[in-house]
Amino acid sequence: MIRLSIRLFCAAALALVLALVIDAPAFTAFAQQHVPPAPASPEAQSPAPAAGQTSAEPAAPMPAPVVEPKFPPTDPANFTASTPTKEAVDAFLKANWGYDENRVWQVQAILKTPVEGVSKVVVYVADRGGKEQQGQALGFFVLPDGKHIITGDQVMDFGDHPFAEVRQKLETRADGPYRGAASKDLEMVEFADFQCPHCKEAQANMEKLVADYPKARIVFQNFPISSIHPESMNAAEYGTCVTKLAGSTAFFQYAAAVFDGQEGLATPDGATLTLNSAVTKAGLDPAKVSTCAGDPQVKAQVEASVKLAADVGINSVPTLVVNGREIPVGQIPYDLLKKIINYQISLDGIAQ
């Protein structure tokens, strides 16, 4: 994954760490939109060959035992803050982790802090079948507005609908080319950089999503990272002009051609040939698109897309946002990607 340097204190997209607020080493975890690391599974053990079975024959692996975590008992003395309630914390965690039937947790403490209105929440988290029966202790601070938490150096949305604010912003401002439905009931917004290798790899999953979710609106938002991909802005401007001149269908033809020929973006001359070839494959005149790409308004439109990413806390590509929920589309298996999307669909009550 390509990650921007930290430009905003509160810009958090795909961090996987919650700061621990008790005396122990920091543990990796999941907060808000972010997909947690895959649970550790016990090492598969192969039994000795049965009678009549040679050692060359593959033996069926022993099923991993299901171990229910045994969390420490809660102490009422550790619940000194009036807000948030334990129910609110559980609802927040369920919205984030509920897609994983093996993930279990226990709210261990909700404590007052010396800062008026700021509460410290400690949670034990474990996986069924994992080696750590008591789980790992994770913590975060809830701010006085009750709508945000601080974890490490990040500020994230909190509540039983933690993705609603980002969803509303994207419904209003995500204006890139799209495939699928005009309705925004199920909106998937992909933020990508044409010169990013991981974005190229993610396109296979994006094509599968188009086929598997015909009722979704799947939007492409330009997020060129010019500091490390010098031709990405040019590619984004060309793509914006292709959309302007010929619509979304032509854009996705152009995008597929650019990603296929991504190696050509390594040099300015190669980029010119690659982009012109992609424009031609989309059925347009490269000279007209090049002229359009020189319009300052086109550059401003791409920059507005980059600002949108920053405004919703995205600082890495590729990122897919499904009804406000961020998912690192290029980092996880497709089956897990669908599982998370389907869970979000169920949370939002969307008929499929």
Q: What is the pLDDT at residue 48?
A: 44
In a domain, 45, yes or no: no
Looking at the 3D structure of the chain, how many domains does it have? 2
DSSP 8-class letter at 318: S
Q: Are residues 90 and 208 in the same domain?
A: no
Q: Are residues 228 and 152 in the same domain?
A: no
In a domain, 46, yes or no: no
User: CA triplet 180, 186, 189: central angle to 5 degrees?
Assistant: 75
Q: Are residues 136 and 230 in the same domain?
A: no
Cα–Cα distance, 231 to 267 (Å, whole number): 8
Q: Are residues 177 and 265 in the same domain?
A: yes
Q: Are residues 154 and 169 in the same domain?
A: no
Q: What is the pLDDT at residue 63?
A: 61
Half-sphere exposure of 55 (CA within 13 A, CB side): 1
pLDDT tens over the chain, length 352 residues: 544 332 222 333 323 333 333 333 332 333 333 333 333 433 334 444 444 444 455 566 666 566 788 899 999 999 999 999 999 999 999 999 999 999 999 999 999 999 999 999 999 999 987 766 678 999 999 999 999 999 988 899 999 999 999 999 999 999 999 999 999 999 999 999 999 999 999 999 999 999 999 999 999 999 999 999 999 999 999 999 999 999 999 999 999 999 999 999 999 999 999 999 999 999 999 999 999 999 999 999 999 999 999 999 998 999 999 999 999 998 899 999 999 999 999 999 998 7
Q: Are residues 144 and 276 in the same domain?
A: no
Q: What is the pLDDT at residue 64?
A: 59
Q: Are residues 10 and 143 in the same domain?
A: yes
CA 166 vs. chain centroid, Å, equals 12
In a domain, 58, yes or no: no
Q: What is the pLDDT at residue 66?
A: 64
CATH number for position 219:
3.40.30.10
Name the H helices within the chain: 86-97, 164-173, 197-212, 232-246, 248-260, 268-281, 286-293, 296-311, 334-348
Q: What is the CA radius of gyration of the chain?
A: 23
Last residue of a domain, one of 125, 159, 193: 159
Q: What is the pLDDT at residue 348?
A: 96
Q: Are residues 227 and 138 in the same domain?
A: no
Last residue of a domain, one of 133, 159, 185: 159
- Asked if omega into 61 is within 30° of 0 (cis), the reply is no
In a domain, 318, yes or no: yes
In a domain, 226, yes or no: yes
Give every CB contact of residue 351 below 8 A, 6+ residues apart in sequence: none
- Are 190 and 223 a contacting pair, CB within 8 Å? no
Q: Are residues 149 and 180 in the same domain?
A: no
In a domain, 52, yes or no: no
Could you list the residue range(s) of the whole structural domain that residue 232 is in? Answer: 165-348
Q: Are residues 20 and 138 in the same domain?
A: yes
Last residue of a domain, one of 126, 159, 192: 159
In a domain, 54, yes or no: no
Q: What is the pLDDT at residue 131?
A: 66
- Are 157 and 167 a contacting pair, CB within 8 Å? no
In a domain, 48, yes or no: no
Q: Are residues 82 and 153 in the same domain?
A: yes
Q: Are residues 187 and 151 in the same domain?
A: no
